[in-house]
């Protein structure tokens, strides 16, 4: 642990010992200006945290010590920073307009990216215009995307987020191997007008292959050989897509330098493009690119992904908070917490550092959340008065898409601002006592009531404010979170781009399948055996 880490700990300890609260930090008249950053109409406010000027200097020094800037350059130029898989990390190239050659393995990757994007654009235009016919010569009304993890969460979240821009076929998503999922999605859909996209980076994922076979059977039962014209695939494993009988012209490829959870910018984003059209999809990519440019060029103190990452480090390692809540005050971002759970926890839920040692500090926190205002009526009680502090991350648009509804968006904004303020300022015992007395309680009864009505406050939050949830803004938001995860991963010294931790469970599931099917064998422990017995049909 470097000197900077110890200085940060001392800073935090001293502030605690002095009883200094977040509210106290607002005595500095420039608190908000110094602790907020802007990029292309978007504002990130980190002023409602316990980070003071000295702590910010130290956190910036930490970023420098970890060479965040150097690693950032290495990522963008295609170095193999995913060192356990010996791969470059270039999802940023999928969204770039740049044409200057970007060389990976001796070849410029730009032409292939453009080719695939053109192929997607053509396909989407044809499907949306009705030029691409169904087996019966009609128009596709619905699209079912079959994928899981990175091949599901990104496109599902983004498609829902951009509902006001939908002017293409309806998009549905099937991910779970639980047959209930595909059954419930296909029920009500007509195979004669449904396009099925099978999305899997590896094309080996059990859930997706199982659901794909079920969907193909559903199409074939209705359309016979015509089913083929209702299928498309997205993958890096083009040979495997052929095995499943998907025509080559309907296969959209990408390369292994795109991580699954970073893949919605390319062909995995096809459902988004089908829903909103190629032009809007380009705006989405441009939002991501704008955030890339900001990340690469903005001064450290003005750099949103950097600041957000440093806030994350502060909360996780210096304050010791184990989780963070993502609270989009934007119903259409209701799937953002689930999407970020993969982006963040699969990227930074690691315990071994680049040097092969077990990390001496905390790494990725637990990410969870729910759209506001719904969360307020569920778990906000714990955020305000529970025994653990949960840093909160609010997202809010200046403008909704439904101005004709009057009060709704103003209420949404007022609630969002009220929550971050309530978390920070709390309510003192004396104020609570007054309220209890006004409610008719006296003496000890009033004091007892006041205990329960006191809010400790001093609970940190950050707020991301954007003009409106447009395709461009969504692109900015996602890229911001991607780079935040990157910044944290670099400072923690871990590899944010592999996911070995998901392997063991998959292996054991394969080993347990014969036991579940009663084909012989014995469980490795009495608990699993007991459960197998109980689950025997
Ligand atoms: O796209 P696929 O190859 O089917 O992978 C789908 C998902 O499966 C794995 O379990 C990985 O942990 C995820 O990172 C990935 O997104």
Nearest to 94 by CA among 272, 354, 232, 227: 272
Q: For residue 329, what are the CA distances in angstroms to 287, 402, 411, 537?
A: 20, 14, 10, 45
- The CA distances from residue 431 to 52, 201, 452, 460, in Å, are 27, 57, 12, 21
- Closest protein CA for atom 7 of ligand 1: 149
DSSP assignments along 282-340, one per residue: HHHHHHHHHHHHHHHHS-GGG-HHHHHHHHHHIIIIIS---EEEEEEE-GGGTTHHHHH
Mutate which of 499, 505, 506 for ligand 1 pocket (most atoms within 8 A of beta carbon): 499
Instruction: State in Å: Cα 177 to ligand 1 middle.
Output: 13
Residue reference for tokens 């890229």: 479
Contact 309, 295 (CB under 8 A): no
pLDDT value of position 69? 98
- Statement to judge: residues 349 and 397 lie in one domain: yes
- Paired with 312 in beta bridges are none
On whether both 19 and 105 belong to a single domain, the answer is no
CA of 506 to the centre of ligand 1 (A): 11
With respect to residue 444, please indicate whether it lies within any of the assigned structural domains.
Answer: no
One-character DSSP codes across 90-102: -HHHHH----S--
**Same structural domain, 292 and 368:** yes
499 CA to centre of ligand 1 in angstroms? 9
Are 62 and 164 within one domain?
Answer: no
User: Looking at ligand 1, which residue's alpha carbon is closest to its atom 12?
Assistant: 502
147 CA distance to ligand 1 middle (Å): 8
Q: Among the atoms of ligand 1, which is closest to the Cα of residue 259?
A: 14
Question: Are the CB atoms for 79 and 71 separated by under 8 Å?
Answer: no
Contact 208, 151 (CB under 8 A): yes
Residue 348 · residue 489 · CB < 8 Å: yes
Instruction: Please tell me the residue having the least CA distance from ligand 1 atom 13.
Output: 149
- Kindly report the CATH number assigned to the domain that includes residue 45: 3.40.50.10490
Tokens 């025994």 belong to 387
Question: Does this model's pTM top 0.90?
Answer: yes
Give the residue, by CA position, lying nearest to ligand 1 atom 14: 260
- The atom of ligand 1 lying closest to the CA of 205 is 4
Residue 186 near residue 144, CB atoms below 8 Å: yes
> Which residues are annotated as catalytic?
346, 377, 506
340 and 293 in one domain?
yes
Question: Which residues have C-beta within 8 Å of that of residue 107, sequence separation ≥ 6?
Answer: none
Which residues are bridge partners to 232 per DSSP?
Answer: 197
Ligand 1 atom closest to Cα of residue 153: 16
Q: Tens digit of pLDDT for each residue in 90-132?
A: 999 999 999 999 999 999 999 999 999 999 999 999 999 999 9
> How many Å apart are CA 340 and CA 89, to the nearest integer?
18
Q: Which atom of ligand 1 is nearest to the CA of 150?
A: 16
493 touches 354 (CB < 8 A):
yes
Last residue of a domain, one of 234, 252, 276: 276
Question: Is residue 131, in this structure, part of any structural domain at all?
Answer: yes
Number of neighbours of residue 245 by Cβ within 10 angstroms? 13
Q: How far apart are CA 88 and CA 497, in angstroms?
A: 9
Q: List, in sequence order, every residue forming a beta bridge with 107; answer none if it has no partner.
A: 104
DSSP class per residue in 506-520: HHHHHHHHHHHTT-S
My answer on whether 482 and 526 are in the same domain is: no
Question: In this predicted model, what pLDDT tens digit does every residue of 519-535 receive, in sequence order?
Answer: 988 899 999 999 999 99
Asked if 342 and 265 sit in the same domain, the reply is no
Distance CA 233, CA 204 (A): 13
Pocket, ligand 1, Cβ cutoff 6 A: 148-151, 200-202, 205, 208, 260-261, 346, 499, 502
In a domain, 433, yes or no: no
> What CATH number does residue 517 fall under?
1.10.1390
Phi and psi dihedrals of 195, rounded to 5? -100, 130
Residue 407's CB: how many other CB atoms inside 10 A?
Answer: 8
Question: Alpha helices of 358-502 — where are they, by DSSP H?
Answer: 380-385, 407-425, 429-438, 443-453, 471-492
Residue 43, in any domain of the structure: yes
Q: CB of 215 within 8 A of CB of 186?
A: yes
Are residues 297 and 156 part of one domain? no
Beta bridge partners of 393: 326, 462
User: How many domains in the chain?
Assistant: 3
User: Residue 328, by phi and psi: left (phi above 0), alpha (psi -120 to 50) or beta?
Assistant: beta
Determine, yes or no, domain membership for 375.
yes
From atom 8 of ligand 1, which residue's Cα is the shortest distance away?
Answer: 149
Instruction: Note whether 252 and 329 are same-domain residues.
Output: no
The answer to whether residue 107 sits within a structural domain is: yes
> Is residue 82 assigned to a domain?
no
**How far is the centre of ligand 1, averaged over its atoms, from the C-alpha of 269 (Å)?**
15
The verdict on residue 251 lying in a domain is: yes
**ipTM of the shown complex:** 0.98
Q: Of ligand 1's atoms, which has the minimum distance to the CA of residue 208?
A: 4
Paired with 38 in beta bridges are 43
Give tens-digit pLDDT for 136-186.
Answer: 999 999 999 999 999 999 999 999 999 999 999 999 999 999 999 999 999
Among 182, 54, 147, CA closest to 342: 147
Q: State the Cα–Cα distance between residues 393 and 6, nearest whole angstrom.
A: 26
Q: For residue 17, with 0-12 CB atoms within 10 Å meaning exposed, 13-18 middle and 19 or more buried, which class applies?
A: exposed
Which atom of ligand 1 is nearest the CA belonging to 342? 14
Distance of CA 342 from the midpoint of ligand 1 (Å): 10
Signed CA dihedral, 214, 218, 219, 225: sign only:
positive
**Residue whose CB lies within 8 A of the most ligand 1 atoms, among 152, 201, 509, for a mutation test:** 201
CA 262 to ligand 1 centroid distance, Å? 11
To test ligand 1's pocket by mutation, which of 89, 145, 148, 236 has the most ligand atoms within 8 angstroms of CB? 148
Q: Quick one: 31 and 103 in the same domain? A: no
Kindly state the tokens that stand for 389. 């502090």
Which DSSP helix (H) or strand (E) runs through 57?
A: helix 53-65
Tell whether 62 and 100 lie within a shared domain: no
Q: Specify the residue with its C-alpha closest to ligand 1, atom 4.
A: 200
Residue where a domain terminates, one of 218, 246, 276: 276
Is the same domain home to 248 and 366?
no
The CA 351 to ligand 1 mean position distance, Å, reads 20
Q: What is the dihedral of CA 81, 83, 85, 88, to 10 degrees?
A: 20
Q: From atom 9 of ligand 1, which residue's Cα is the shortest distance away?
A: 149
Read off the pLDDT of residues 488-500 as tens digits, 9 standing for 90 and up.
999 999 999 999 9
3-state secondary structure string across 335-387: CHHHHHHHHHHHHHCCCECCCCCECCCCCCCEEEECCCCHHHHCCHHHHHHCC
Closest ligand 1 atom, residue 236 Cα: 3
Say how many Å lie between the CA of residue 340 and the centre of ligand 1: 15
If 0-12 CB within 10 Å is exposed, 13-18 middle and 19+ buried, where does residue 336 land? buried
| Residuewise pLDDT in 10s, the chain (537 residues) | 679 999 999 999 999 999 999 999 999 999 999 999 999 999 999 999 999 999 999 999 999 999 999 999 999 999 999 999 999 999 999 999 999 999 999 999 999 999 999 999 999 999 999 999 999 999 999 999 999 999 999 999 999 999 999 999 999 999 999 999 999 999 999 999 999 999 999 999 999 999 999 999 999 999 999 999 999 999 999 889 998 889 899 999 999 999 999 999 999 999 999 999 999 999 999 999 999 999 999 999 999 999 999 999 999 999 999 999 999 999 999 999 999 999 999 999 999 999 999 999 999 999 999 999 999 999 999 999 999 999 999 999 999 999 999 899 999 999 999 999 999 999 999 999 999 999 999 999 999 999 999 999 999 999 999 999 999 999 999 999 999 999 999 999 999 999 999 999 999 999 999 999 999 888 999 999 999 999 987
Q: Which domain holds residue 524?
A: 501-536
Last residue within a domain, chosen from 230, 253, 276: 276
Count of residues for the chain? 537
Q: Which of 152, 260, 500 to mutate to test the pocket of ligand 1 (most atoms within 8 A of CB)?
A: 260
């Amino acid at each position: 642990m470097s000197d900077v880490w110890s200085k940060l700990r001392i800073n935090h300890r001293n502030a605690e010992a002095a009883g200094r609260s977040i509210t106290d930090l607002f005595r500095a008249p420039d608190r908000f200006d110094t602790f907020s950053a802007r990029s292309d109409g978007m504002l990130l406010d980190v002023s409602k945290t316990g980070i003071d000027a000295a702590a910010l200097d130290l956190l910036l020094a930490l970023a420098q010590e970890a060479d965040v800037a150097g690693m950032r350059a290495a990522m963008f130029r295609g170095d193999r920073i995913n060192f356990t898989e010996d791969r470059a990390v270039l999802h940023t190239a999928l969204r770039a307009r740049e044409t200057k050659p970007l060389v990976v393995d001796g070849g410029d990757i730009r032409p292939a990216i453009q080719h695939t994007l053109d192929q997607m654009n053509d396909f989407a235009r044809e499907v949306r215009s009705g030029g691409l016919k169904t087996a019966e010569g009609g128009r596709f009304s619905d699209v079912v995307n079959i994928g899981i993890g990175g091949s599901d969460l990104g496109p599902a979240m983004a498609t829902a987020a951009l509902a006001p821009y939908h002017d293409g076929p309806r998009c549905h998503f099937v991910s779970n191997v639980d047959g209930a999922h595909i059954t419930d999605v296909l029920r009500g859909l007509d195979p004669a007008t449904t396009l099925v996209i099978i999305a899997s980076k590896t094309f080996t994922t059990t859930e997706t292959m199982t659901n794909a076979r079920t969907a193909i059977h559903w199409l074939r039962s209705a359309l016979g050989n015509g089913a083929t014209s209702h299928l498309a695939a997205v993958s890096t494993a083009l040979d495997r897509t052929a095995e499943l009988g998907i025509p080559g012209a309907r296969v959209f490829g990408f390369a292994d330098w795109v991580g699954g959870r970073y893949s919605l910018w390319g062909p995995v984003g096809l459902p988004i493009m089908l829903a909103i059209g190629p032009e809007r999809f380009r705006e989405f990519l441009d939002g991501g690119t704008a955030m890339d440019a900001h990340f690469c060029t903005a001064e450290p103190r003005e750099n949103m992904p950097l600041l957000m990452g440093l806030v994350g480090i502060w909360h996780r390692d210096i304050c010791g908070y184990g989780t963070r809540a993502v609270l989009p005050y934007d119903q259409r971002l209701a799937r953002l917490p689930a999407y970020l759970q993969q982006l963040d926890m699969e990227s930074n839920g690691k315990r071994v550092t680049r040097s092969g040692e077990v990390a001496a500090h905390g790494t990725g926190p637990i990410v969870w959340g729910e759209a506001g205002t719904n969360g307020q009526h569920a778990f906000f009680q714990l955020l305000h008065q529970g025994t653990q502090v949960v840093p909160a991350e609010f997202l809010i648009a200046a403008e909704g898409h439904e101005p004709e509804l009057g009060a709704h968006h103003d209420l949404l904004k007022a609630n969002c601002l009220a929550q971050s303020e309530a978390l920070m300022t709390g309510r003192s015992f004396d104020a609570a006592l007054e309220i209890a007395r006004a409610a008719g309680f006296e003496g000890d009864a009033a004091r007892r009531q006041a205990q329960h009505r006191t809010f400790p406050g001093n609970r940190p939050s950050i707020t991301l404010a954007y003009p409106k949830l447009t395709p461009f803004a969504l692109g900015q938001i996602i890229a911001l979170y991607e780079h935040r995860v990157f910044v944290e991963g670099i400072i923690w010294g871990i590899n944010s781009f592999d996911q070995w931790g998901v392997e063991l469970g998959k292996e054991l599931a394969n080993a347990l399948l014969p036991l579940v099917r009663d084909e012989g064998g014995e469980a490795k422990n009495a608990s699993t055996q007991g459960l197998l017995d109980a689950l025997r049909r």
